[in-house]
Amino acid sequence: MSDDCSHGQHHYHHHHHHLGLAEGIPQSYIVKLQWVVGLAILYLVMQTIGSYLSGSLALLADAGHKLADIAAISLALFASWFSSLASSPRKTFGYYRMEILAALINATGLVFIAVVILWQAYERAMRHSSVEIEGGMMLAASLVGLLINCISAKILYPEREANLNVKGALFHVLTDILNSLGEIVTAAGILLFRFYWLDTAISAIIATLVLYNASRVFGEAVNILMESAPKRLHMAKVRDFILRYPNVDDLHDLHIWTITTGKDALLAHVKVKDGAFTHEMARSLEKELRDAFNLCHITIQLEPPGFEESDIPF
């Protein structure tokens, strides 16, 4: 049973992937997302320089957050390319898990960045902000940031209904615009009233959000590497579904795991009632499981009554 399941769930026939062409994201959207990544890299560089020149921690935290955005969109783009790499005799699952490994490494880096920024914010708060921030420089950097975010939103806006990836990216850029506005308010507060604590507060909020998101990604990646059953599925329901299937007597060795995001696999041993052991049953059970639970790769061992089980653990 070696069907490759693409992002749609009902591909039974064999079809080969073509290198470099994403299945999930059409080419025109890929170009737009690449533009957004390019702008985000520009933003990252500008905010880092702005932070260095002005002494603003909020700008640095926002640069860290933009790094998370860049990683997230690049992963979505690369995932479709990784998965198009052919599987080899040894890498029988292909390169799907590259996406998970990349997400894990990326999340680890972001947790580190967020912790460093939180530590800095804590230090500043304890020293009662002896750090003076160049309000004018910070204002300039955050205005440029606002402009870049608005351009990204404008690039994505026309495609908002056409593609989920684009819609998600657009929604995110809109929250980034709010970030920029927060930084502008902070810079104005520093320029007008010398409210240096605002910068520390904003940087702590942004770093906390980065930490929260990164630890969620980290947790999901670890779960997938641990071969945990996907959260979207209730194992008891799957078990029930199989046990209630006509002519099924019993079930053991049920495993469901995620190969990569959106590709879940199932393995099960199903004991069949006397005389009911047919190829049709195997096929229809497989098809109905696939449709009911949106599974990708299914392996079922039908066992007739009296089948001698080997003594293999799990």
Q: Give me the least distance between CB of 307 and Zn ion, in Å please.
A: 7
Q: Give me the least distance between CB of 194 and Zn ion, in Å please.
A: 29
| Interface characters, 117-156, with Zn ion (x: CB under 5 A) | ----------------------------------------
Alpha helix segments (H runs only) across the chain: 27-54, 57-82, 97-126, 135-156, 164-193, 196-225, 235-243, 279-293
Q: Rounded to an integer, what is the distance from CA 233 to the centroid of its chain?
A: 18
| Interface characters, 156-185, with Zn ion (x: CB under 5 A) | --------------------x---------
Which of residues 210 and 224 has its CB atom nearest to Zn ion in the complex? Answer: 210
Q: Give me the least distance between CB of 172 and Zn ion, in Å please.
A: 5
Please classify residue 65 by burial: count the beta carbons closer than 10 Å to its beta carbon, then call 0-12 exposed, 13-18 middle and 19+ buried. buried
Q: Give me the least distance between CB of 58 and Zn ion, in Å please.
A: 14
In this chain, which stretch among 55-63, 66-74, 183-191, 203-211 interacts with Zn ion, using CB under 5 A?
66-74
Contact (Cβ atoms closer than 8 angstroms) between residue 67 and residue 43: no
Tally of CB atoms within 10 A around 211: 19
Nearest residue to Zn ion by CB is: 269
Which of residues 132 and 309 has its CB atom nearest to Zn ion in the complex? Answer: 309
Which of residues 7 and 269 has its CB atom nearest to Zn ion in the complex? Answer: 269
Q: Give me the least distance between CB of 253 and Zn ion, in Å please.
A: 5
Long-range contact list for 218-222, CB < 8 A, 24+ apart? Answer: 218/104, 218/107, 218/108, 218/111, 220/103, 221/100, 221/101, 221/103, 221/104, 221/107, 222/104
Distance (Å, rounded) from C-alpha 11 to C-alpha 294?
11
Which of residues 44 and 259 has its CB atom nearest to Zn ion in the complex? Answer: 44
Which of residues 5 and 206 has its CB atom nearest to Zn ion in the complex? Answer: 206
Distance (Å, rounded) from C-alpha 16 to C-alpha 82?
14
Q: Give me the least distance between CB of 191 and Zn ion, in Å please.
A: 25
Distance (Å, rounded) from C-alpha 242 to C-alpha 260?
24
Among 62, 69, 183, 264, binds Zn ion (CB under 5 A): 69
Q: Give residue 172's identity as a one-letter amino acid code.
A: H
Q: Give me the least distance between CB of 6 and Zn ion, in Å please.
A: 29
| Binding residues with Zn ion: total (CB under 5 A) | 4
62 binds Zn ion (CB under 5 A): no
Closest CA to 97 of 107, 108, 87: 87
Which of residues 43 and 218 has its CB atom nearest to Zn ion in the complex? Answer: 43
Distance (Å, rounded) from C-alpha 116 to C-alpha 261?
30
Which of residues 123 and 253 has its CB atom nearest to Zn ion in the complex? Answer: 253
In this chain, which stretch among 61-69, 121-129, 207-215, 286-294 interacts with Zn ion, using CB under 5 A?
61-69
Q: Give residue 18's identity as a one-letter amino acid code.
A: H
Distance (Å, rounded) from C-alpha 153 to C-alpha 150?
5
**Cα angle at 244 between 240 and 249, to 5 degrees?**
105
Which of residues 17 and 65 has its CB atom nearest to Zn ion in the complex? Answer: 65
Distance (Å, rounded) from C-alpha 178 to C-alpha 157?
17
Among 269, 277, 282, 294, binds Zn ion (CB under 5 A): 269
Which of residues 69 and 159 has its CB atom nearest to Zn ion in the complex? Answer: 69
Residues between 280 and 309 that touch Zn ion (CB under 5 A):
309
Using CB under 5 A, list all residues that contact Zn ion: 69, 176, 269, 309
